[in-house]
Structure 1
């Protein structure tokens, strides 16, 4: 795991002492972005597919794939930030609690994303069988 600070990459073992707040802000920003995109992905994935032509369905599939890849990237970034936060924890139960909470949120988002992605895959398989 590497952490980037002012354009420089360093391992989590050498995270600057003042990086905790920066990492915490980045984690909150990513969580907010993931929350919004997960909601949009869920709505789009569960949207009505009836009445779509073949080209519309293909475009929707491409869009879902792009959204899925975007979500996977955001979840990975949040995981990386969480790991960096683990390297920056330098005392205090409050920081450990904050880190644990960010890890819980990451787990919740990852599980929700996987559920929606699995539903999308099952719906695609079902549609191709009916096809």
Structure 2
């Protein structure tokens, strides 16, 4: 193998190892970020249950920014490592290195396995972080709804009480009117009328008004008959 060709291969291996080391450190930090976010969410949930203070222990927005930044950096490193592996694959397929092709392919396969493992670990950690963040956002929304319900429960209870009182008042009024109408339909039962028309009964005023109206009607009828009787007698003659 020519010296220039050997140096090119070693240079590619050096780049691959350097990128792999950087990815290893980044992925460890990325995993710690996800773990810290999970623990802070759990602490926030416990504190919300036992304390009225809802100020988060950790700033979620700053963690979100760190997550986005680290994710971009890791994706860039993975892309660079993929490019190096592609160059190594091209080198192993070149015509100038047939005798060492098996050894080179073994080395290339090892770097490919490392790349695959790092890619899988990155996507798994990223998915876990997103799931925890979405769950925390959902729980935060539920906690806000609960607090809003608790703060407004007094007003809602007062409104409900007023509605119930108004409903009972209307039902009682309807019942009194129905009883009065039923009583009037009975006819001239004076005992019932006296019983329901007493001053202590709530509908006494209504019955008294009804009595006065009937009295006026009778007076009008009497006057009409008195005026029509002489006319009828005269016509009969």
TM bucket normalised to smaller? 0.7 to 0.9
Residue in structure 1 matched with residue 8 of structure 2 by the alignment: 19
Q: Return the structure number with greater strand share.
A: 1
Query: How far is 1:55 from its partner?
Result: 7.7
* Structure 1 segment 1-131 matched on structure 2, within 5 A: 17=5, 18-47=7-36, 48-49=39-40, 50-51=43-44, 53=56, 56-89=59-92, 90-91=97-98, 92=100, 93-131=102-140
Residue in structure 1 matched with residue 164 of structure 2 by the alignment: none
Q: Return the structure number with greater helix share.
A: 2
Larger C-alpha radius of gyration, 1 or 2? 2
Mapped to 2, the partners of 1:82 and 1:128 lie a distance apart of 40
Q: Which runs of 5+ in 1 are unaligned?
A: 1-15
Encode CA deviations 1:30-85: one digit per residue, 9 max, x unaligned.
00110111011101111132357398110011001101111111011100100011
Q: TM-score, structure 2 length as denominator? A: 0.46
| Partner-residue secondary structure (3-state), 1:77 | helix
Q: Which runs of 5+ in 2 are unaligned?
A: 45-54, 141-237
Deviates more, 1:24-33 or 1:81-90: 81-90
Mapped to 1, the partners of 2:91 and 2:11 lie a distance apart of 10
Q: TM-score, structure 1 length as denominator? A: 0.82
